[in-house]
Structure 1
Amino acid sequence: MQKTIMKNYLKEIIKRKDLLYYLVKSGLKAEHRNSYLGYFWWLLDPLLNVLVYYFLVVIVLGRENDDFNYAVFLVIGLVAWRWISSSINSASKSILRYSTIINQVYLPKSIFPLSFTISQLFNFLFGLIVVALFLAFNGIVPGWEIIFLPLIILVTLVFLMAIGFVLGYVNVFVRDIDNVMTHIIRIFFYASPIIWEGGRLKGSEYNLDWIVDYNPIAVIVNSYRDILMFNTTPNFVGLGIIFVVSSIVAITMLYHYSKNEHKIIKAL
């Protein structure tokens, strides 16, 4: 019985692939619809982010560690983080955003957080162009390890899909979760090696290294740096654990959606 419900629900999502394509396309257009530079912001936004944090850390705070190229370290971390944070923020609000459509036509509700996660994937791919420019400008040539880039992107995508499914559903019933997530995301930003090597918690007097070591965002961000900057293989064990756990969560949430779609409509 459970397998039949899940199978029918997946068939319904596949049948609505045109809607998924439309949601992704409209989401991308909506981001910079009224701006003069339009899609150029996909390149300019990560570049400006790098300049702001480079000025903060290097100029204002006087970072002196020159063991590696900090600008490249920073751009990879910020581009990866931008995909993660923007996906979490947009996916958590996705069902509420389309509540009018949902109340009028039956649609698999999981399609909405999925569409926002995929939309942000395209933004990330444009961010990789900025990363490539920084690598070229600084004379860094990735080694053969770059073949693992699609694998890391896949793991990140499944990870964000799982989070998006959970938050998209919970936010329908607990609207305060959106405000809470703002602060949680900020905590993960400083607890992950985005702008600091090893995260700010690494090596602190309170012995909080484990928060960095077992932080999935830290594993993902460091994996991008490993193959693009340091010419080493990524943390396959960490990525494997993230992929398996995220896949289980994503599948469980899809089944939960299939069983509770009527509750979502009532809550909206």
Structure 2
Amino acid sequence: MKSYIQEMLKRKDLLYYLVKSGLKAEHRNSYLGYFWWLLDPLLNVLVYYFLVVIVLDRGGENYPLFLVIGLVVWRWISTTINSSSKSILRYSSIINQVSLPKALFPLSFTVTQLFNFAFGLVVMAGFLLIYGIMPTWYILYLPLIIVMQLTVHIALGLVLGYITIFVRDIENLMTYITRIFFYASPIIWEGGRLIRSGKMPDWLTPLIEYNPVAILVTAYRDILMYHQPPNLVGLGVLFAISIVVVIYMLRYYSQNEHKIIKAL
């Protein structure tokens, strides 16, 4: 695995090219171009605000801010899953012609979505200013949370990028899995309020409180909205598991890349 990582480091120029081309390709044929990275989270906020507040008469204090943080974090998660799962298949023509570490492709799509998320942070900052919520020293946790989430995404990208080569239906299946996590996580609604209402079966409580998406989304709200430390235990466990998965997958890639070429 050590030699495999060294080979990846030698190909850092290719990684840079893949990230750059990925950023250009996202909105290449649209009139608004990169402005969509700012407009997309804003439009999502409007849609769900209309649904929850206007139609269902729900929501609470500072709900649009609550909503935008959840949607921006979720957008980073969902776009990374969708893009990295197809990363190796997308560049199959290059992979069949040139010998290079295949793990570079899921990694490049993951890094591409990190830049996309940076624009979402701008939208978050704008909403914080609108609602007059000034950051406290807890914002120092922000880079740590981003690094932890990026590690989770790298782990997911490596796993899904490999599996999708052999099980093409996984791409369709992930659509429904991500939808389950979207509604099972406090993205458009407050998890604690639903649990306290007593209207939810007990067996669903762990899914609401301890799923990875809920831990990540809540962490951002804790430091930005509520000025309190995030759930460091939950984040730490998630980070540790992701590190183990990344190491295992890099080792697995290094030993099984010949299978990728045969499958393509």
**TM-score, L = length of structure 1:** 0.95
- CA spacing shift, 1:262–1:199, aligned 2, 3 Å: farther
Q: Which residue number corresponds to residue 31 of structure 2? A: 36
Distance 1:226 1:142 in 2: 11
Which runs of 5 or more residues in structure 1 are unaligned? 1-5
| Deviation by residue 1:196-217 (Cα, 9 ceiling, x = unmatched) | 1018974443211111122011
Mapped pair 1:242 → 2:238 = yes
Q: 1:199 to 1:230 in 2, by over 3 A?
A: closer
Equivalent-residue separation in structure 1 for 2:147 and 2:53 (angstroms): 33
Q: Of 1, 12, 18, which aligns to 2:7?
A: 12
| SS of residue paired to 1:104 | coil
The residue type paired with residue 191 of structure 1 is A
What do the CA deviations read for 1:160-190 (whole angstroms, capped 9, x no partner)? 1101100000000111111110100000000
Aligned counterpart for 1:52 among listed residues 44, 47, 70: 47
Q: Distance in 2 between matches of 1:51 and 1:72?
A: 11
Contact 1:85 1:185 in 2 (8 A): yes
In structure 1, the partner of 2:224 is 228
The counterpart of 1:206, out of the listed 201, 212, 220, is 201
**1:258 corresponds to 2:254:** yes
Structure 1 position 105 matched with structure 2 position 98:
yes
Aligned partners of 1:77 and 1:21: how far apart in 2? 29
Change (3 A) 1:175 1:214: same
Matched, 1:219 2:215: yes
Judge conservation of contact 1:113–1:165 (CA < 8 Å) in 2: yes
Q: Deviations over 1:103-125 (max 9, x none)?
A: 00011111101111110011111
For 1:117, the equivalent position in structure 2 comes to: 110
- Asked if residue 71 in structure 1 is aligned to residue 64 in structure 2, the reply is yes
- TM-score, normalised to structure 2, is 0.97
3-state SS of paired residue (2:96)? helix
- Distance in 2 (CA, whole Å) between partners of 1:200 and 1:115 is 38
Question: 1:212–1:218: 8 Å Cα contact kept in structure 2?
Answer: yes
- Could you tell me whether the CA contact under 8 Å between 1:190 and 1:200 is conserved in 2? no
Q: Distance in 1 between matches of 2:158 and 2:86?
A: 11
2:125 matched residue in structure 1: 132
CA distance in 2, matches of 1:258, 1:201: 45
Q: Count residues in correspondence.
A: 261
Shift of the 209–22 alpha-carbon distance from structure 1 to 2, 3 Å rule, reads same
